[in-house]
Amino acid sequence: MKNSFAEGSENVLPCIFAAAGLTLSKGEASLFAQANPLGFILFKRNCDNPAQVKALVEHLKELVGRDCPILIDQEGGRVARLKPPYWGVHKPMRYYGEMYERSGAESAKDSLRADMTALAGELTALGINVDCAPVLDLLFDGAHDIIGDRSFGGDPAIVAELGEVVCEAFIEAGVTPIIKHIPGHGRALSDSHKELPHVKDASFDDLIKKDFAPFTALSKTEVGAQVWAMTAHMTYEALGDDLPMSLSAASIQKVIREEIGFNGVLICDDLDMKALDAYGSSVAKKAVKALTAGCDLALYCAGKLSVMEELASELPRISNGALRRLGNAAGVNNMAV
C-alpha cells in the first residue's frame, strides 16, 4: 500500500466520503475504488467496537490503495464518535480553559496534553489519522450553544495557546489536526446544521481582534502549516459578502488566506448542512462552488450512495495547489507533486 500520492495524484477526487454503516455495501466498495476520494470520515454509525472499526478502516484504505486520510470528530466532551465502554471519556475543551483561568497556564497545558495524547492514541490504534479538532471558536455570551463548552473560552490568546497544545499532541502521536471553524463560529446565534448564521453585530476590526485572532495566532506557529482548517458555514455583515464563507472566493482569499494568514489545507464543513440549502440544487453543485471558491477539499458526511456517485461524476480532480498544501501537512498526507 502506498503512503504518498507522488504517483497518480492527478486521479484523486478532492472530496471526503462517508460510509452508511459498520461495513461497506458492494455499491460503496465499488464506488470508493473507482472514484478514489482523498479520504473518508467516520461517525457513530460506523463505530461499534475496536475490531470492527479497525477492519472498516483497513478496508477503506485497501480500496483506494493507499494510507489515505481517515477523519473523525473526536473533540472530547459531547462531540465524540468513539464512546465507552471501548473508548475513554475525554473532557470538553472548556474544562481546560477554566483550568487555565483558575490554576494557570502550565497546569492546564500539562493536563490537556496528557488527555489529548491519550485520545490520539485511541485513534491511531484504529488506523484513524485525522481528527476534526481542536475548536478555536470563541465563547460569546448569548450565542447559540452549538459551540458552548466545545470552546476553550472567550480569551483569544488562551484559546490559541491551548489549541496549539492540542495540535502538537496530535501531530506527535501521528494524527493530523483540523482546526475549526475558520474564521470563527463563536458569535453564531443559530446552528449551521439547521440554518445559515449571519453575524451582524461585529465590525471587521472586532472580528480581527477577537474571532479571527486564535486562527491567526496558530497560523504563525510551527504547527500552523501542518494542520488543516475547516470553514464555517456563516456570513459576516462586516465582510460585505452575502455568500457563506465556505462558498465565497473573495472572503476565503481576503480573510482566511490574507488576513488570518492560514496557508494550509482548507476543507469545507459538511456540504449537507442546511446552512447551504439556498446555494445549490444538489450537494455536488455546492461542492463545486466550495472548490471553486478556494476550498481544497469538499466534505460530505451523510453517506448516501447516490449523492456520492453524483459527486464522483461532477467534481474535478484535485488541484496542484491542494496537493502542495497536503504535502506540507502533518501525518499521512504527504502528497507533494
Catalytic residues: 193, 269
In terms of C-beta density within 10 A (0-12 exposed, 13-18 middle, 19 or more buried), how is residue 278 classed?
exposed
In terms of C-beta density within 10 A (0-12 exposed, 13-18 middle, 19 or more buried), how is residue 50 classed?
middle
Please count the other Cβ atoms lying within 10 Å of the Cβ belonging to residue 8.
12
Angle at 177 between CA 310 and CA 251, to 5 degrees: 65
> Do the beta carbons of residue 187 and residue 211 sit within 8 Å?
yes
Query: Beta strands of the chain (E only): which ranges?
Result: 13-17, 37-42, 70-72, 74-76, 79-80, 130-131, 176-182, 198-199, 228-231, 235-236, 265-267, 298-299
Angle at 253 between CA 313 and CA 207, to 5 degrees: 125
- Grid coordinates representing 43 are 461517525
Alpha-carbon radius of gyration of the chain: 19
Q: In a 3-state reduction of DSSP, which class is residue 177?
A: strand
Contacts of 134 (CB under 8 A, 6+ apart): 75, 93, 152, 162, 163, 166, 167, 177, 179, 180
> Do the beta carbons of residue 16 and residue 40 sit within 8 Å?
yes
